Amino acid sequence: MCYRRATRAICAVGLMLLSVPATAATIAACNATFTICAIPENISLQLPDGFEAFAGDVILTEPNSSVVSDVFRIFNNLINTGEGTGIGNMMFLYSADDSALPPPSTYSANAVFIPEDPSGVTSFLGNGTNYVLNAPEPETCLSIGLACVATAILAHKRSKGRQSRLRQFV
C-alpha cells in the first residue's frame, strides 16, 4: 500500500460525469476536523486542503411537499465512478429561487432526499460532516439576517475571485 501513489492517482483522474461550474471556487468554511461546513447557495465551493467527500446529490424538498427547492451537489471531480458517484472536493448548492436546478435525470445514483427546514437553513449529516445548507427563501432572509450576511460575504469574496482560506467555521 502506498499513500503517495494513491494521491497521485487521484490527481490523474480527468473525465467528469457531472460538470463542475466554471466559476472560480471559494474555499468552504469548515471547522478543523471537518465535522461542520457552511454551504451558502449559488457559490462554487471547494473543500479545504486535505478534505475530500463522497460525491452525490442531496435533494431538498419544500417542507411538506415533494417539490424540489434546492439541490446540494458534491461533484466527483477527483474520482469518477459513474452516475454521479465517486470522490470530490467541489460542491454547489443550487437554489430554485436563484438558478436552474439540475434536472432529475442527472441526480446521482446515491442521491438522498430530505425536507428543507422552513428557516431555509437545513442541516445535512453526511458521513460525519454536518453540512449547513443555507438556501433561505427571499422572504425568510430578513428573519435570519446573520446567515444571509454570511452568504453575502461569501458571494462578495467569490466575485473578487479571491482564493484565500476563510476562517474556520467554529
Q: Report the interface residues with another protein, using CB under 8 A.
A: 1-10, 12-13, 17, 34-35, 51-58, 72, 74, 79, 81-83, 85-87, 108-112, 124-129, 131
Nearest distance from residue 3's CB to another protein, in Å? 4
Which C-beta is closer to another protein: that of 121 or that of 148?
121
Nearest distance from residue 148's CB to another protein, in Å? 24
Which strand ranges, in their side-by-side order, compose the sheet holding 121-126? 29-30, 36-40, 129-134, 121-126
Report the distance separating Cα 82 and Cα 76, nearest Å: 9
Which C-beta is closer to another protein: that of 31 or that of 140?
31
Q: What angle do CA 84, 88, 90 make, to 5 degrees?
A: 100
- Region of 5 please: left (phi>0), alpha (psi -120 to 50) or beta: alpha
Q: Which three cell numbers stand for residue 85?
A: 458517484
Which C-beta is closer to another protein: that of 17 or that of 101?
17
Nearest distance from residue 77's CB to another protein, in Å? 13
Which C-beta is closer to another protein: that of 106 or that of 140?
106
